Structure 1
Amino acid sequence: MKKSVLSLILGIFLLGAMHAQESRYLVFEFIKVETSQMYDFIEYKDFMEKVYQSAVNDDRILGWDFWSLHSGADAGEFQYITITYYKDPVSMLSGLTEEDLIRYSMVSNPHMTEKQVREKFEHAFSTHDLAQRTYMQQISNTKDNFRMKKGVLASFDLMKAVEGKFQDYEKAEREVFMPIHQSRIEKGLMGSWTLLRTALPFGSEAKSTHLTMNMYSDYVQFFNAMEYEDLESTAEQQAAVEKGLKSRDQKWVYLATLESTIR
């Protein structure tokens, strides 16, 4: 049963990749940390930066981001989001095993023994709770030269396509909303935009089916974009926007700042 489910997921990913010009595969992890554990968790995060850099150098992952959340969730839900980038669905679903992490930890910290590394991980796991993990595929993105660096601001918009309008929603994002975002980028009001399709968890009870990543260089650009009004849009374009909005339900918006990025 498990094998057939994984085969189905891979089939969905590969079918999507046929239609995407440039496809990446991302794992989002939403992390909750108790206030009393915050110092130990940040120390663990700094340690993991070196570990993920070793994984990038070994071509096991494409990159890793660490985001601190500002709004979009209850304070007790989660405070951080990490994103791990993979080049294909197989490596994404396989992920980095415990043994991989231990090996890369010893590569990046040659002074540590295997026993010390295992003890560090055992302690680190008690400092935080993995509230949710979501597997996603990039299916559309704007043309830009935006650079990911510390301090970048992002709006993660969780969407749920209306039942029976899955294809309509994706078509609206590509043909209606992406050109709007591309125009904003060219006007200097936005850095980058990406549309992602959720693979796991999936089903009728899934909280979302898609996610858009809206990138801004800083708060100035973000607020300028929020205040911008396109007075040149035609009645036909406005009607297309309204139709596109009806194909999905915007479940939640998470505003976050990039604290660390590994490439």
Structure 2
Amino acid sequence: MKKILLLLVLGIWSLSLTHAQQTRYLVFEFIKVESNQTYDFIEFKDFMEKVYRVAINEKKIQGWDFWSLQSGADPSEFQYITIIYYKDPVSMMNGISEEEMIRYSMAAFPDLKEAQIREKIANAAQSRDLAQRAYMVEIASTKDNFQMKKGTLASFDIMKAAEGQFQAYENAEKEVFLPIHQKRIEKGLMGSWSFLRTALPLGSEAKLTHMTMNIFKDYMQFFNNQQYEDMESTAEQKAAVEKGLKARDQKNIYLSTLETALR
């Protein structure tokens, strides 16, 4: 009996560990670049791509994306979005220290001296303005095997749960909207979908509480998805959708194109 109980406990612990390992923690950075600094910033972006690849190999981070904004924000607000993927919340909050960044940079560019690396990183700070940073945790996602590559399209939908509707909104995304997106993926109308919650406590004046990532392989799939209407949904399902929509305020939709994805 004790042996069976022990095996049961180990099984539950193993499942919990697997679930924890699958949870993604993401840091979004919304970056503004002045027109006269674009060349310097793109040069720095190419530099950082190699540095982040080392960080992935060192298992410091799980991935890095670089997105170019297509619509949804005033160009004077920001033009680029980067995402850094972490394995757990502690790693996400610790981030990459300055000394770690120097070490990864020297590994990526062995011909450069440490002083040159430090100067390049210091100069890079002058070529961009970090308009906003968001720490997010993925709490729901579709089952798919979509592989992101250059040219992939994403709609980052910024949400704020209505007052007193936080849990109701999350339930709606998981129980109502997730199955809808899963069905669209199976019909070839989407590549992937995930639902994110802010990982840090926020006050009532916060700009966002949640975000959805709607991923499409190209514009053709994106527009086909926009035009699709599910004629099979029941009146009850439509009512559930309407109720879910009222539980949140869709603050912004940022349509972006993927330039680089490292995993």
Do these two structures clear the TM 0.5 threshold for a shared fold by scoring above it? yes
Does residue 124 (structure 1) correspond to residue 120 (structure 2)? The answer is no
1:54 partnered with 2:72: no
Superposed displacement of residue 18, structure 1: 11
Runs of 4+ in structure 1 off by over 2 angstroms are 17-22
Structure 2: gaps of 5 or more residues: 1-16
- With over 3 angstroms needed to count, the CA separation of the structure-2 counterparts of 1:118 and 1:207, relative to structure 1, is same
Task: Give the partner amino acid of 2:73.
Answer: A
Q: Is residue 144–residue 191 contact of structure 2 (8 Å, CA) maintained in 1?
A: yes
Counterparts in 2 of 1:102 and 1:27: CA distance versus 1, 3 Å: same
- Structure 1 residues 19, 50: closer, same or farther in 2, change over 3 A? closer
Hey, what does 2:257 align to over in structure 1?
257
Could you tell me whether the CA contact under 8 Å between 2:21 and 2:87 is conserved in 1? no
Q: Aligned-pair distance for 1:122?
A: 1.2
Q: Secondary structure at the match of 2:22?
A: coil
Return the letter of the residue paired with 2:190.
Answer: M
Q: Distance in 2 between matches of 1:95 and 1:217?
A: 30
**Tell me, what secondary structure is at the counterpart of 1:204?**
coil
Query: Secondary structure at the residue paired with 1:125?
Result: helix
Give the alignment of 1:173-252 within 5 angstroms.
173-200=173-200, 202-252=202-252
TM-score, with normalisation over the residues of structure 2? 0.92
Q: What is the alpha-carbon distance in structure 2 between the residues aligned to residue 171 and residue 18 of structure 1? A: 23
Question: Whole-Å Cα distance in 2 between the matches of residues 70 and 30 of structure 1?
Answer: 13
Q: CA deviation at 1:108?
A: 0.4
Q: 1:126 aligns to what SS in structure 2?
A: helix
What does residue 78 of structure 1 align with? 78
Tell me, in whole angstroms, the C-alpha distance in 1 between the residues paired with 2:82 and 2:233: 37
The structural deviation recorded for 1:249 is 0.5
Work out the CA distance in 1 between the residues paired with 2:112 and 2:21. 43
Query: CA distance change for structure 1 residues 206 and 132 in 2, over 3 Å: closer, same or farther?
Result: same
Q: How many residues align?
A: 247
CA 238–164 in structure 1, closer or farther in 2 if over 3 Å, else same: same
Give the aligned CA root-mean-square deviation in angstroms: 1.5
Decide which structure has the larger Cα Rg and report it.
Answer: 2
1:196 to partner: Cα distance: 0.3
TM-score, L = length of structure 1: 0.92
Question: In structure 2, how many angstroms separate the alpha carbons of the residues matched to 1:235 and 1:201?
Answer: 37
Give the Cα separation in 2 of the matches to 1:21 and 1:93: 17
Which residue does 2:169 correspond to in 1?
169
Distance 2:243 2:78 in 1: 33
Separation in 1, partners of 2:165, 2:18: 21
- Give aligned-pair identity as a percent: 69
